[in-house]
Structure 1
């Protein structure tokens, strides 16, 4: 008997790798009659100043994430898929994606790009996808290729 996924988490950060994961997640969600949960985590550690958080900068990042969600939702509608929820969270992307979101949103599969936008964090602390693989309590699929299973150019 085949397992069917019902709620698929796709973390997005505007990177090409996240877009590859999103494209494949639409296809998996269609086959499984599942809901996609698009998530963007605003890394609060990078927004701190000696006086606290930069409010205007945080709002700009939130606005960019909402615009990105809008583009992804439009693409999904063009593919006759509409079961999408969006989530914006604040904190450590590694922990939010691997621990909080799966519990809070009843996620049974995380589809994540192999790398994302934060090269500095990857260099010093390891990649988000690596941490998610090691710590998530649900299945994790790391996406490296496009819909034709080709590496992106």
Structure 2
């Protein structure tokens, strides 16, 4: 018996890797006739360090995220996904993607890009992807290749 996924979550952070995960998630959602959840998490901890914190900063980031999610939602619908849910959450990306959102929305597959942080950030605070793979209550598919099955290129060698 083949695994049937009903609710697929793809985490979007603006990176090339996340975009590839999104495109692959569309294909998996189509094959499974699943609901596609497109999630962007605004890391509120980033604003705690700003001494002159202003709520307009959060509003500006939120507006940009809304526009980006609307584009992703439109693309998914144009590709034949009838059930697309796009959502902005606030908090720690690791726990939101790995635990909170999946539990609240009955997610049975998370698709996420392999990287997004540079090596120093990964060393100091840990990779979101690594945390998700270790802590998610459901299957996790880490996207490491493009739509042609070729390894994803880093920004340095992408052409």
* Alignment TM-score > 0.5, same fold: yes
Report the more deviating stretch, 10-19 or 44-53: 44-53
Instruction: Give the C-alpha shift of residue 13 in structure 1.
Output: 0.8
May I ask how many residue pairs the two structures share in their alignment? 152
Distance 1:52 1:3 in 2: 50
Instruction: Give the C-alpha shift of residue 50 in structure 1.
Output: 6.8
Instruction: Give the C-alpha shift of residue 81 in structure 1.
Output: 2.0
Q: CA RMSD in A?
A: 1.6
1:61 matched to which residue of 2?
61
Distance 1:113 1:50 in 2: 28
Instruction: Give the C-alpha shift of residue 148 in structure 1.
Output: 1.1
2:25 matched to which residue of 1?
25
Cα–Cα, structure 1 residues 81 and 150, in superposed 2: closer, same or farther, change >3 Å?
A: same
Distance 2:121 2:89 in 1: 18
2:130 matched to which residue of 1?
130
Q: Structure 2: any 5+ residue segments left out of the alignment?
A: 153-157
Please say if residues 48 and 54 of structure 1, whose CA atoms lie closer than 8 Å, have aligned partners that are also in contact: no
Distance 1:146 1:50 in 2: 36
Give the 4+ runs in structure 1 shifted more than 4 A.
49-53
TM-score, normalized by length of structure 1? 0.92
- Find the residue that maps to 2:107 and give its secondary structure: coil
2:40 matched to which residue of 1?
40
